[in-house]
Amino acid sequence: VHVHEFGHMLGLPDQYGRNHATGIGKWCTMAVGHMGGGESGPHRPFHLCVWCKDQLGWIKIVPVKPSDGQWLKLPAIEREATAIRILLSPDGSDSLLLENRQRLGFDSDLEGTGLLIWRGRRGAVDLIESHGKKLSNASLVEPDQIPWPSLYNRDYTPATAPESPEGVYVVDIAQQEGVAYFK
């Protein structure tokens, strides 16, 4: 809780979601990620989400245009503070943020690993769960199936569920030895 409250001192907002519901779950210390750790180890917070780290200037963001057809790779954010931003609006007020979360350091007790896809708009962030379930507590349902790839999805396109914004195709998502690969 101390880390979560210190986040407020740095200017970060709560990420609980509407009516103090689940928001983005344990995937950010500014939601319920401050209750990380758990039964197998000490209670320690999970990492801040990529959006919070971006707000604080703690991460290198690599911009990618939705029209760029290229193979990309992201190392674990716990090893290299790098993420990818896909701009959805020219002014950057709407974008996708991609980060690779692995069971390392403070994130060693995460229930799932892989590529996390976030939608940042109007000063807030939403987690796009790979399982595609449309529930108010989706960020807590099947937590091992939230990162990409999952049993449900290895592609994020306008034709998948969940569907990407028009013109955005993140496909062939895979992970190997803690590195996320996609096109």
Looking at residue 106, its pLDDT comes to 86
Reading across the β-sheet that carries 82-87, which strands appear in turn?
60-64, 82-87, 94-101, 114-121, 124-128
Looking at residue 172, its pLDDT comes to 97
Contact 115, 73 (CB under 8 A): no
- Cα 19 to chain centroid distance, Å, stands at 21
**Binned average pLDDT, 10 residues per bin, the chain of 183 residues:** 81 71 78 64 80 95 87 94 93 93 91 95 88 85 93 96 94 96 95
Grouping H, G, I as helix, E, B as strand and the rest as coil, residue 72 is strand
Looking at residue 1, its pLDDT comes to 75
Looking at residue 20, its pLDDT comes to 44
Looking at residue 18, its pLDDT comes to 58
Longest dimension (CA), the chain: 45
Contact 85, 91 (CB under 8 A): no
Angle (nearest 5°) at CA 12 between 7 and 119: 125
Grouping H, G, I as helix, E, B as strand and the rest as coil, residue 96 is strand
pTM of the model: 0.90
Tokens of 126: 């939403």
Residue 93: what are its φ and ψ, rounded to 5°? -75, -15
Cα separation, 105 vs 59, whole angstroms:
17
Cα separation, 36 vs 52, whole angstroms:
17
Give the residue among 158, 179, 154, 177 at the shortest CA–CA distance from 167.
158
Evaluate the omega torsion of the peptide bond into residue 162 and state whether it is cis, within 30 degrees of 0: yes
Cα separation, 122 vs 124, whole angstroms:
6
Q: Identify the DSSP state of 9.
A: H
